[in-house]
Amino acid sequence: MFEERHEFFLSALRELAITPPGRHREVRLEELARALGGHLRSVEHGTNAALRRVAPQVQIGEVMHQYTVVSASLARLLANPAGGLPFARRLSELRAAIEQMQVQETFVARKLSRHLGETALLMVELQMEERFDEYVGVVGIHGVMSGAVVLAESRQHAA
């Protein structure tokens, strides 16, 4: 359910890590943080809404708490884009946020897979994609998207 999006974020992180210093790198970091924020919003309206229907309240509370931690990290990054913290520290914080998000979403995907049928899971995924496009849109993450395109093209050539 989340594998493609996670690979996209990790690929964009790897690309950012080797991008030379300068304005372009700062813009890309901010775009990636915004894309991750859009992803979290789409998850809230898609998978988390479905999770609330199938999981005990205690598990839902823990998932929501962890997403709040990730969101707070993103808010700090976006509130102070190029000032304050060095690039390596901001990149590290973004990586930690993505890794934490992956842990939560692996749990959520397993839980939903056990309780929802294939059609219901597909509907949740479609709802997430619609929300992501609505919140972020391709135009909003044009720089980050180039990393996903390069990744997809390299996979096609390797096959």
Count how many Cα atoms sit within 13 Å of the Cα of residue 112 in the half-sphere of its side chain.
25
Question: What CATH number is attached to the domain comprising 37?
Answer: 1.20.120
Residue 145 binned pLDDT confidence (cut-offs 50, 70, 90): very low
Alpha helices in 46-86 (DSSP H): 47-54, 57-79
pTM: 0.74
| Residue-range definition of the domain harbouring residue 54 | 3-158
Over range 26-33, report the average pLDDT: 82
User: What percentage of residues in the chain have a pLDDT greater than 90?
Assistant: 6
Q: Distance between CA 129 and CA 143 in Å, rounded?
A: 19
Tally the domains of the chain.
1
User: In this predicted structure, which of 6-10, 30-34, 135-139, 143-147 has the lowest mean pLDDT?
Assistant: 143-147
Q: Distance between CA 124 and CA 122 in Å, rounded?
A: 5
Q: Are 24 and 147 in contact (CB under 8 A)?
A: no
Q: Distance between CA 85 and CA 126 in Å, rounded?
A: 37
Count how many Cα atoms sit within 13 Å of the Cα of residue 53 in the half-sphere of its side chain.
13
